Each structure stands twice: as C-alpha cells, then as structure tokens.
C-alpha cells in the first residue's frame, strides 16, 4: 500500500469508527433509563399546601448540624438561605408574579417551591462519579455521598440536572454536601423505620414521606380531584398512619414532576404553577447519564476496541520502525 | 546529515525573567488556595463548579499539547520518516502541556489529599467518563516521559538504557497514539452527562467524542506547524515548508469532517433557530466557525501551503478555533440554571498564567540544555 493511501485509510478508519459508534449507539446498544427500585422511598412535595413556614429548613439544618444563613442585619434569627449551598441542603423558594394577589396563581400570584436532592431514579451524580463516592441504594433508591472515597472533582455538580451537590469551597479540606434523605451514616432515620426530618415537621403535609409507589398514587389521585371540593390531606408518613387535615382542592397542573423527567425521581413535586416557572430545568425523558454511559460503553465495550487498536498500532509501528532502520543504514550513517 | 542538538544561547533573558515573575505571582495564589480553600481565590460556585482551571488548564491545555499525538500518528504509523525532525520538540511540548494538565487537575481537586482514590480499582466506577479521563491522562504522561527519555539519555550517555528503550519504542509510540485517542474523545463525552446545561449549539450528545477528537487532532497538527517555525527561527534556518505541505492536506480533511459533522448535528437536532438568533451564544458560534473556516480556505490553495507566513496564520486560527470550541461548550455558553454566573477571579487567572509561564520557561531551559531541536547540516 502506498504511504499516502495508508495515511488516509488509517485516519479515516479511526474517525469513522468513532463516528459510527456515536451514531449506532443511539439505537443498537442503548442502555436506556434505569428503572425505579420497587421499594424505593421518597417524598411528595405539594406546592399548593406549602405555607412557607420553613420548619422543614430548620429541621434539616438541625439533623445535619448546619448553621442558619443569617440575614444581612444579622439580628434576625430566621434562616435566610435563598438557595442550596454547602450549608443548606433544603430550601424554600418563592415564585412571584405581578401584584402577588393570590397564592398558587401563575399570573398576579405567588407560590412556594422546595429545592433539595430529588433522589433521581437514574442519578447523574452517581453515573459520573469516577470513584463511586455517590451511591444509589438498590432497595431504598436513596442517593448517598461518601467523603472517604471522594476526590473533589465536582463532576457530580455538573452532572446533576438540579445543581444539588454543593462543594464547601470556603473550607480548605472541604467535601460535597447534599441531602441524603436523612439516611446518612450516623442518622439512618429511614433504615430505623422513620421518616425524613422535613416531612416529620411539616405542619400541612406539603412535604409528605412514603414509598414512591404510594406517593405516586396519591399524586395521581390529587390530579383527579375536583377543584373547589374538600379533601382530607395526609401528613407525615403516608404509609404509616398519617394524620390528616381538610383543605379545599386547588387547580393542579396535570403534571407530576419526577414521574418521567430524566428517568424520574423519588422526590415528586406537584403544583398549580408550571414547573419551568418554578425553576425546574428543561429535561427530556431520557436521562443524559444513560446516553453518556451508552456512548462510553459502546466505545469501550469490554475494552475490546482499545485492545485491538493497540495491537494493530503496535504491529504497524514495529513494521515501520524496521523500515526506518533499513533507511537509516542505507543513507543516514553518522 | 542531520542530528539533534541543544539550542545555543543563554537561558536567562529579559522575557525569561518576565515569565519567572508571573510564575511566582501565580504560585503565591496557588499557595493561598491550599491554605484557605478554593473559595478564597476562585469564583467557582454551585452552578459553575468547573472554571478556567479545569476548562483551560485541563480541557484546552491538553489539546494544545496534542502535537506529540498528531506527529506520532504521522511519523510512525504512516511511516513518513521525513517528519522525524519535529518529533522531539513536539513530544517535549506535549510532555510539559500534559504534565501541567495533570497538575491542574490535581490542584483543582477539592479533596486533593486523597487523589490516589482514583487509582484504587475497588473505587472504580466504569460508567464514569471522568474515570477514563483520569486514568488515561495519567498513563499518557508516563508514556510521554518515556518518549522524551532518549533526549535525556543521549545527554548523559546512557547507551545501554537507550538500546532497551529503542527496542520498546514501538510499544511506547503505539500507546502514544492510542491513549490520546481515548481520553481526548472522552473529554468530549464529559459534556454528554451535562445534558441541558450545555447550549444546544454545542450539545451534540452522541457526536461529542468525535468532535472532541477532531479538535484535538486539528490543534495537534497546528501546534506542530507552530513549533516547526519556532525551531527554524531558533537555528536561523529557512522554514521547512515542504514538511508542512502534506500535513496541510490531512488538516483540510479534518476541518471538513468537523464542519460537516457540526452543521449536520445542528440541522438534525433542529437547532438552526439558535444559530440565527444573533444573541451572544450565536455570535460565539459564528466566530468559532469563522476560525475553523478561514484556515480551510487558506489551506485549500496549494500556493498558500508552501508559504510559511500563510501556514502560520492558518495554524494560529485553528488553535484559537479549537480552544474557543472547548471554551464555548464547557464554560462560555454553559447555563446551569437561573442565579448562577461565573467570571474567573484575578487570582484564578494568575494561577493559570503562572503555569503557562512555567511551561514556557521549562521549554526554554530544556531545548537549551538537551538535544531536542533538530539541526540539519548541509
Ligand atoms: S415545613 Fe412544610 S409548609 Fe413549612 S415550608 Fe416546609 S414544606 Fe412548606
Ligand atoms: S438530584 Fe442531583 S444529586 Fe440528587 S440524585 Fe439527582 S443527580 Fe444526584
Ligand atoms: S466531587 Fe466527589 S462525589 Fe462528586 S463526582 Fe467527584 S469524586 Fe464523586
């Protein structure tokens, strides 16, 4: 083969196979989204029930030994956290529009929205972490963080669609912080048969604990209720004798956030406001993590492709080096 | 007859002292980072957890260090012996560039004191693109050190070791081609899991690894042209444009494939509207595309391909184009969500400039003390 042709063929083969893998992996070997664990636990946050008391924020800080974020004047003792941070794993945000006249109304209204780890069914943070410091419990579905393994590359932060994991930048020996559904080592409320601190203290049941299955059923039931009528809303742990209170049924958006988004989440949200207005990201049903893994595994399936490539390259190089030697001997004596 | 030899002249010069002072300022801030934490010196935040230390020092820095990769491809695999003279300077620049990319990744690690966790197999998450990047880049730094070792061994006259190394050279060079192909494409794959945060014009999903690999090769070949002219100036010789003519033809193909793949993806994904919106992102896209297109137009004319100055312009355009592509995708157009913004702090920039200065100083010292550059005696 002529050298020039050789150059062309090899370059084209390399690039061509990368492209082919990219395109073919779209369908052939796609891994698809992970499926919810059958006994996964989670929470249902009903924005229309939330009164913005932030009892859940305080309870979360107490469980995690985190200080309140102080107001500018430093006199107010309430927590003024505006967003998630390495000191705030659960936060209540406010949606505002126009004259703010009516709660849970998109135009000229306001609403509350909770932010904390969604405990994804197909978690990006777990997929991207090189050292398995983010772990997805196969039974509870809870996503936990393990500082002893973590190298602090912060890929989990960019890989989380909700910007949940937060690094302690101000600490020279910092770590990642995120909600671990009160099941982190030393707390283990769920393993002990309890519920999350935020659901425990919520006075209205806006944050409700339970199995993903029963929470999903509850959310679907609420979608089907007739606005204006009265419903007996559960509080606390949906699966373990919840207490109840009666409240008028609002007009829900027919959308359960977390049923499908990026493979779904174990923390579900329902609301009277469109979720993009509440700051939820524009997610497709297919999780980006599953696409990344599909591409990567197709390229590296059992390391076969790289191994074959190395053998081929080594052979070619060896052959060509010998040619070089011949040439050297002929013309390039020193 | 030809041979490698050290570049004559003094090491200490005015520019060298300027680089030295920038380096020292950078190291001062780097020390602060270790003592007070990353928040003290950087503007990183919850939405932008990768700043210029990752995106410039690692993602772009390693691509700028792909000269050794591009040349290894050409010289050994395709058996074009006539490119030999450029290998050593290119390998040296790659070694320095990759070494600093590795160091950049290290000091950017939030938990650097347990960096070794990534080398412990029981921790490995085989689904993680980052794992592949981390291990593969580390391995490649060792391979580059071995590729460069002959220059050092010649200097100290270790003939026995040189022989052993030459016997193994075929394996080392093969790895020197395989490893960058793997991790340079993976650097692109990192963007896939970032999903919606990456702007639609840069979120090519399945094609991320291909586009990243193409930019790595394009930038690698451009650096070779760049270093070739440096070497020519250093020895006060005529630029060996004939060496670059054939490289140019390869580059033309790479540029063409890149542009076609890029536009095909955008059309296929139905994102043309983003291109025509003429907001900051679409303007960045247009600038980037122009930087890829101008060198293509220059190189397509055979007359230009033998003119040193034109080649140099094309090379500079491509280096900027590839860097801008990666900057755009990872940082400039990234949108993690409302409420987050990032612009590097002065200390962050100084750390990066300090490391670039170090790279240049190390290059100067090494080409003046070791037989790196190729001298053609006639
Ligand atoms: S405790 Fe319940 S009602 Fe109070 S802010 Fe939290 S979710 Fe809303
Ligand atoms: S919300 Fe983010 S941190 Fe929580 S499980 Fe999902 S990807 Fe991980
Ligand atoms: S910062 Fe830690 S937990 Fe997050 S991806 Fe990196 S190693 Fe994993």
Q: Is pLDDT at B27 greater than 50 in this prediction? A: yes
Across the interface, whether the CB atoms of B46 and A321 are under 8 A apart is answered no
Cα B238 to Cα A90, B305, B344, distances in angstroms = 66, 15, 41
Q: Classify burial at B26, counting beta carbons within 10 Å of its beta carbon; exposed 0-12, middle 13-18, buried 19 or more.
A: buried
In this prediction the ipTM stands at 0.92
Contacts of A124 in chain B (CB under 8 A): 193, 195
pLDDT of residue B377: 53
Is A306's Cβ below 8 Å from some Cβ in B? yes
Q: What does the alpha-carbon distance between residue A132 and residue B122 come to, in Å, rounded to a whole number? A: 9
Residues in chain B, overall count: 378
Best CA proximity match to A122, nearest among A215, A36, A183? A36
- CATH number of the domain located at residue range(s) A41-285 in this protein: 3.30.70.20
Window from A330-334, B11-15, B64-68 with minimum mean pLDDT? A330-334
Q: Is pLDDT at B50 greater than 90 in this prediction? A: yes
Contacts of A289 in chain B (CB under 8 A): 127, 193
pLDDT of residue A21: 56
| Inter-residue contact A18 to B212 (CB < 8 Å) | no
Q: Classify burial at A256, counting beta carbons within 10 Å of its beta carbon; exposed 0-12, middle 13-18, buried 19 or more.
A: buried
Q: Is pLDDT at B378 greater than 60 in this prediction? A: no
Q: Which residues of B92-122 are buried (b: 16+ CB within 10 A; e: fewer)?
A: bbbbbbbbbbbbbbebbbbbbebbebbeeee
Tell me the per-residue pLDDT of B3-19, one tens digit each, with 9 for 90 and over. 788 877 777 888 899 99
Mean of pLDDT values over B73-83: 60
Tell me the per-residue pLDDT of A148-197, one tens digit each, with 9 for 90 and over. 999 999 999 999 999 999 999 999 999 999 999 999 999 999 999 999 99
Closest approach atom of ligand 2 to CA A118: 1
Closest Cα to atom 8 of ligand 1: A50
pLDDT band at residue A17, thresholds of 50, 70 and 90? low
Tell me the per-residue pLDDT of B184-239, one tens digit each, with 9 for 90 and over. 999 999 999 999 999 999 999 999 999 999 999 999 999 988 877 666 666 666 66
Domain assignments of chain A as residue spans, ordered by start: 3-32+292-322, 41-285
Domain assignments of chain B as residue spans, ordered by start: 2-376
Q: What does the alpha-carbon distance between residue A269 and residue A280 come to, in Å, rounded to a whole number? A: 10
Q: Classify burial at A143, counting beta carbons within 10 Å of its beta carbon; exposed 0-12, middle 13-18, buried 19 or more.
A: buried
Q: What is the DSSP letter of A192?
A: T
Closest approach atom of ligand 1 to CA A201: 1
pLDDT of residue B283: 97
Q: Kindly give, in sequence order, each residue whose CB lies less than 8 Å from that of residue B172, ignoring residues fewer than 6 positions away.
A: B143, B146, B147, B165
Is A2's Cβ below 8 Å from some Cβ in B? no
| Inter-residue contact B127 to B73 (CB < 8 Å) | no
Contacting B residues, span 6-25, partner chain A, CB-CB under 8 Å: none
Is B196's Cβ below 8 Å from some Cβ in A? yes
**DSSP state letters, B92-107:** HHHHHHHHHHHHHHHH
| Long-range pairs of A189-198 with CB within 8 A, sequence gap ≥ 24 | A189/A63, A190/A41, A190/A140, A190/A142, A195/A236, A195/A237, A195/A240, A196/A43, A197/A56, A197/A59, A197/A60, A197/A62, A197/A63, A198/A43, A198/A56, A198/A57, A198/A59, A198/A60, A198/A90, A198/A116
Across the interface, whether the CB atoms of A6 and B178 are under 8 A apart is answered no
Q: Is pLDDT at B86 greater than 80 in this prediction? A: no
Mean of pLDDT values over B76-103: 80
Best CA proximity match to A115, nearest among A280, A283, A276? A280
Ligand 3 neighbourhood includes A131 CB (under 6 angstroms):
yes
Using the mean position of ligand 2's atoms as its centre, give its distance from the Cα of residue A199 in Å. Answer: 19
- Rounded to 10 degrees, what is the CA torsion of A33, A35, A41, A42? 30
Contacting A residues, span 81-140, partner chain B, CB-CB under 8 Å: 83-85, 124, 126-133
pLDDT band at residue B240, thresholds of 50, 70 and 90? low
- Arithmetic mean of pLDDT over chain A: 88
Q: Is pLDDT at B127 greater than 70 in this prediction? A: yes
Q: In this complex, which of B34, B74, B209 lies closest to A299 when CB atoms are compared?
A: B209
Ligand 3 neighbourhood includes A152 CB (under 6 angstroms):
yes
Q: Is the dihedral of CA B134, B139, B144, B145 positive or negative?
A: positive
Best CA proximity match to A272, nearest among A113, A44, A106, A94? A106
Q: What is the pTM (predicted TM-score) of this model?
A: 0.91
Window from A13-17, B211-215, B324-328, B359-363 with minimum mean pLDDT? A13-17
Residue A110 phi, psi dihedral angles, 5° rounding = -145, 165
Strand ranges of the sheet holding A109-115, from the earlier edge strand across to the other edge: A91-96, A109-115, A102-103
Q: Is pLDDT at A24 greater than 50 in this prediction? A: yes
Across the interface, whether the CB atoms of B46 and A6 are under 8 A apart is answered no
Residue A275 DSSP SS3: coil
Q: In this complex, which of B81, B170, B193 lies closest to A289 when CB atoms are compared?
A: B193
Q: In this complex, which of A85, A157, A296 lies closest to B49 when CB atoms are compared?
A: A157
Is A267's Cβ below 8 Å from some Cβ in B? no
pLDDT band at residue A327, thresholds of 50, 70 and 90? very low
Q: Is pLDDT at B76 greater than 50 in this prediction? A: yes
Q: What is the DSSP letter of A55?
A: H
Across the interface, whether the CB atoms of A124 and B337 are under 8 A apart is answered no
Across the interface, whether the CB atoms of B49 and A324 are under 8 A apart is answered no
Residue A236 phi, psi dihedral angles, 5° rounding = 90, -120
Residue B123 DSSP SS3: helix
Tell me the per-residue pLDDT of A41-72, one tens digit each, with 9 for 90 and over. 999 999 999 999 999 999 999 999 998 887 76
Contacts of A155 in chain B (CB under 8 A): 128, 130, 190, 193
Q: What does the alpha-carbon distance between residue B243 and residue B223 come to, in Å, rounded to a whole number? A: 14
Closest approach atom of ligand 3 to CA A128: 5
Ligand (nearest to CA of A43):
1
pLDDT band at residue A1, thresholds of 50, 70 and 90? very low
Q: Kindly give, in sequence order, each residue whose CB lies less than 8 Å from that of residue A76, ignoring residues fewer than 6 positions away.
A: A70
Q: In this complex, which of B50, B78, B182 lies closest to A6 when CB atoms are compared?
A: B78
Q: In this complex, which of A130, A159, A171 lies closest to B134 when CB atoms are compared?
A: A130
CB pairs under 8 A between A and B: 246
Ligand 2 neighbourhood includes A115 CB (under 6 angstroms):
no
- Higher pLDDT among residues A316 and B279, named by residue: B279
């Amino acid at each position: 083969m002529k050298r020039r042709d050789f150059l062309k063929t090899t370059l084209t083969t390399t690039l061509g196979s990368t492209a082919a893998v990219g395109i073919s992996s779209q369908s052939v070997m796609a891994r698809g989204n992970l499926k919810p664990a059958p006994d996964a636990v989670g929470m249902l946050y009903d924005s229309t029930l939330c009164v913005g008391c932030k009892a859940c924020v305080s309870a979360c800080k107490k469980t995690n030994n985190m200080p309140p974020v102080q107001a500018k004047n430093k006199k107010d003792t309430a927590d003024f956290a505006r967003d998630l941070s390495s000191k705030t794993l659960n936060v209540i945000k406010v949606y505002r529009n126009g004259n703010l006249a009516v709660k849970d109304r998109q135009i000229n209204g306001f609403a509350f929205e909770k932010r904390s780890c969604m405990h994804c069914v197909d978690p990006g943070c777990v997929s991207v972490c090189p050292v398995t410091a983010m772990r997805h419990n196969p039974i509870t579905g809870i996503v936990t963080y393990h500082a002893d393994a973590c190298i602090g590359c912060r890929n989990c932060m960019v890989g989380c669609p909700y910007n949940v994991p937060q690094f302690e930048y101000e600490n020279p020996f910092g770590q990642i912080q995120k909600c671990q559904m009160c099941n982190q080592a030393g707390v283990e409320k769920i393993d002990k048969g309890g519920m999350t601190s935020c659901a425990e203290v919520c006075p209205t049941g806006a944050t409700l604990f339970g199995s993903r299955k029963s929470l999903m059923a509850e959310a679907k039931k609420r979608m089907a209720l007739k606005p204006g009528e009265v419903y007996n809303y559960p509080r606390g742990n949906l699966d373990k004798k919840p207490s109840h209170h009666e409240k008028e049924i609002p007009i829900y958006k027919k959308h359960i956030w977390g049923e499908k988004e990026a493979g779904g989440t174990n923390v579900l949200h329902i609301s009277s406001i469109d979720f993009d207005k509440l700051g939820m990201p524009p997610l497709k049903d297919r999780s980006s993590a599953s696409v990344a893994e599909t591409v990567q595994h197709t390229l590296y399936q059992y390391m076969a492709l790289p191994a074959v490539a190395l053998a081929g390259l080594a052979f070619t190089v060896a052959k060509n080096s010998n040619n070089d030697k011949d040439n050297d001997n002929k013309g390039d004596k020193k | 007859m030809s041979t490698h030899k050290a570049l004559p002249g003094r090491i200490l010069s005015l520019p060298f002292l300027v680089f030295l002072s920038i380096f020292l300022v950078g190291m001062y801030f780097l020390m602060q980072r270790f003592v007070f934490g990353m928040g003290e010196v950087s503007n990183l935040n919850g939405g932008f957890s990768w700043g210029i230390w990752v995106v410039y020092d690692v993602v772009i820095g390693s691509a700028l260090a792909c000269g050794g990769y591009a040349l290894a491809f050409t010289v050994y695999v395709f058996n074009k012996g006539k490119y030999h003279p450029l290998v050593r300077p290119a390998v040296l620049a790659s070694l320095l560039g990759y070494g600093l990319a590795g160091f950049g990744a290290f000091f950017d690690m939030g938990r650097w004191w347990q960096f070794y966790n990534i080398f412990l197999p029981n921790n490995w998450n085989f689904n993680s693109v980052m794992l592949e990047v981390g291990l593969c880049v580390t391995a490649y730094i060792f391979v580059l050190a071995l590729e460069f070792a002959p220059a050092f061994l010649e200097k100290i006259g270790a003939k026995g070791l040189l022989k052993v190394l030459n016997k193994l050279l075929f394996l080392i060079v093969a790895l020197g081609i395989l490893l960058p192909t793997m991790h340079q494409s993976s650097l692109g794959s990192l963007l896939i899991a970032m999903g919606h945060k990456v702007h639609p014009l840069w979120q090519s999903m399945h094609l991320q690894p291909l586009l990243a690999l193409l930019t790595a090769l394009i930038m690698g070949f451009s650096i070779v042209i760049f270093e070739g002219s440096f070497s020519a100036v250093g020895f006060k010789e005529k630029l060996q444009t004939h060496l670059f003519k054939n490289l140019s033809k390869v580059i033309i193909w790479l540029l063409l494939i890149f542009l076609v793949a890029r536009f095909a993806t955008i059309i296929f994904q139905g994102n043309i509207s983003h291109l025509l919106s003429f907001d900051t992102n679409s303007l960045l896209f247009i600038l980037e595309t122009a930087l890829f297109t101008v060198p293509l137009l220059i190189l397509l004319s055979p007359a230009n391909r033998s003119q040193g100055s034109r080649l140099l312009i094309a090379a500079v355009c491509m280096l900027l184009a590839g860097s801008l592509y990666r900057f755009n995708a990872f940082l400039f157009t990234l949108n993690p969500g409302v409420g987050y913004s990032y612009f590097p702090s002065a200390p962050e920039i100084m750390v990066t400039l300090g490391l670039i200065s170090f790279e240049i100083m190390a290059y100067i010292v090494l080409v003046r003390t070791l037989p790196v550059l190729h001298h053609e005696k006639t």
